[in-house]
Structure 1
Amino acid sequence: MKTVRIDVVSDVVCPWCVIGFGRLKQALSKLEQEIKADIHWHPFELNPAMPLQGQNLREHLAEKYGTTPQASASARATLTQLGREIGFEFHFTDEMRIYNTRQAHQLLLWAQSEGKQHALQAALFHAYFTENRNIADQSTLLDIATSVGLDSSTADVVINDNAWAQSVAKTEQQWLEAGISAVPAIVFEQKHLISGAQSVEIFVQMLQDVVAQQG
């Protein structure tokens, strides 16, 4: 059994991050007798200037990318189907909003030291994409944090501590300087990069190649 370090750079409101990680999990399940994954999540804010109240998702996509209502509907249908293939339920609605994710990332950074980062990331994805919850709302974030076993009072401090906000910004800058400009970006053993939600087969091949290089 070989241990492979996997760094996942993502944003909580990125649907392709859900798809990419889901496919990575499927690849790992195919190799579960050979590989143990050591997974670390890292912040990447797609919309760092987004106000806390957020913005209607379809309006945001139209403004940022010029996405038409027809293209948006098609993309939602595609994502919903791809989600089913990895066992994840996307629940897109016309009222769905996109939110600022800085404080969510602050919690994720802290959760790593508590051994709860992976559970929190999964809970945040579910809260936003399946339950359509406001993951910029502090009470919502605290509820999600406690649901995975994190201490509520400490989580409240982390959310409101500017030092944690600066840590998120610093980490994001480091990834930008490393050449990461889009997510998901998944790095194996700190040197092999897969960008985007690639196929299960590509992830399997990468994992096998990395293990072979370990000798």
Structure 2
Amino acid sequence: MAESSRVLEVFSDYTCPFCYFNMENAEKLAKEFNIPIRWRYYPLHSDVPDEGIALTELLDVPLSEVEKWDREFSRTAAQLGLPFCSLDKTYNSRLAQELGMWAADHGKGHAFHKAAFEAFFGQGLNLASKEVLLNIAEKAGLPLDEAEKIITDRTYQEAVDKEWEAAEAKAITAVPTMIFGENRLIGAKSWEQMTALVQAGLADQ
């Protein structure tokens, strides 16, 4: 199958559980239909402090509700074979997004996404921590000296700003959102729904 001129855009955030669950299928979809995939960023809870915040406080819900979600997410992760730990706190993902854009420019986007998602959802690590981010970069096979400079100099700050502006321009209000052609899917969807999205887009070309 010849490569499509259209790009599968996937808006996501590293602290979004449904984005985590969606990641592997999105990559599989791109390979199966031989379409380029572009991971894009969305400002999910962008005002969260670097030291993190309790989910009960952020979402204004009782602990019992957070624990219920945790059990549901744990079951989903187990079904998908993904690591998952109990989470009662979230962190600011802005720096992780900046480093993720740099990783993508160096052909390590998927490896970085996988490592970043697993660092947060598998280990509960703080994605605003330089030490954590450097460990993620190392797992993705990226040079640590360059990664540290990207973080310190905020080299990709403007690039992520533009990503957030693009999300607003495209009326993205939730993640994950997958866009192909004129069609989109919002939230965690089945494989059948994802393939239907791409098939519809290819038919419209």
Alignment TM-score, normalising by the size of structure 2 = 0.89
Mapped partners of 1:150, 1:14: distance in 2: 24
Correspondence list, 1:97-108, <5 A: 97-108=89-100
Cα offset, 1:88, TM superposition: 1.5
Measure, in 2, the Cα distance between the counterparts of 1:25 and 1:170.
23
Which residue pairs with 1:3 in the alignment? 3
- In 1, Cα distance between equivalents of 2:34 and 2:2: 6
Unaligned runs of 5+ in 1: none
The equivalences for 1:177-196 within 5 A come to 177-189=169-181, 191-196=182-187
Counterparts in 2 of 1:1-215, with a 5 A limit? Answer: 1-4=1-4, 5-24=7-26, 28=29, 32=32, 35-62=33-60, 67-93=61-87, 96-189=88-181, 191-214=182-205
1:116-171 deviations in Å (ceiling 9; x for gaps): 01110111000100111111100110111011111111111111224421221122
The structure whose RCO (Cα within 8 Å, separation 6+) is larger is 1
**In structure 2, distance between residues paired with 1:11 and 1:71:** 22
1:21-73 CA deviation, whole Å, 9 max, x = no partner? 344456x39x83xx1242211111212222111112333222xxxx2222222
Which amino acid is 2:168 matched to? Answer: L
Could you tell me how far apart the structure 2 residues matched to 1:85 and 1:188 are?
27
Give, as a single letter, the amino acid of the residue that structure 1 aligns with 2:50.
L
In structure 1, how many angstroms separate the alpha carbons of the residues matched to 2:166 and 2:118? Answer: 27
SS at structure 2 position matched to 1:207: helix
Identity %: 29
3-state SS in 2 of match to 1:7: strand
CA distance in 1, matches of 2:134, 2:170: 32
Name the TM-score, length of structure 1 as normaliser: 0.85
Cα separation, 2, equivalents of 1:46 and 1:198:
19
Uncovered stretches (5+) of structure 2, i.e. residues with no partner: none
Question: Does the aligned pair in 2 maintain the 1:8–1:40 contact within 8 Å?
Answer: yes
Supply the RMSD in Å over aligned alpha carbons: 2.1
CA deviation profile, 1:103-122 (whole Å, cap 9, x unmatched):
10111111111000111011
Determine if contact 1:116/1:150 at 8 Å carries over to the other structure.
yes
CA distance in 2, matches of 1:57, 1:46: 13
CA distance in 1, matches of 2:49, 2:192: 39
